[in-house]
């Protein structure tokens, strides 16, 4: 029986979800998850509707940080 490995998009999304709105360094995706194309995976997730924000600043090595912005809860009108 073959175990399915998560896709690169799934790995990026899981990492961002587990960060609970906190920033995740781009360097983490590269060095810990071994995803050299993490920018493309983030772009794919954004195209699917995920609100992923990139930091304006970069660190000393030029890496940005990313976070999953939680969607605003919708209010239901009672009348």
pLDDT in tens, 38-65: 999 999 999 999 999 999 999 999 999 9
Name the residue ranges covered by the structural domains of the chain.
8-68
Per the confidence metrics, is the pTM higher than 0.95?
A: no
Burial class (CB in 10 A: 0-12, 13-18, 19+), 34: exposed
Residue 78 clears pLDDT 80, i.e. is over it: no
% of the chain exceeding 70 in pLDDT: 90
Write out the E strands in 1-79. Answer: 24-25, 52-54, 65-68
């Amino acid at each position: 029986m073959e175990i399915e490995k998560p896709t690169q998009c799934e790995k990026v999304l899981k990492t961002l979800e587990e960060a609970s709105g906190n920033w995740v360094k781009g360097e983490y995706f590269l060095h810990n998850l071994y995803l050299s194309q993490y920018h493309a995976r983030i772009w794919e997730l954004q195209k699917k509707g995920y609100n992923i924000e990139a930091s304006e600043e970069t660190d000393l090595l030029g890496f940005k940080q990313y976070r999953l912005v939680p969607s605003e809860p919708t209010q239901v009108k009672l009348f």
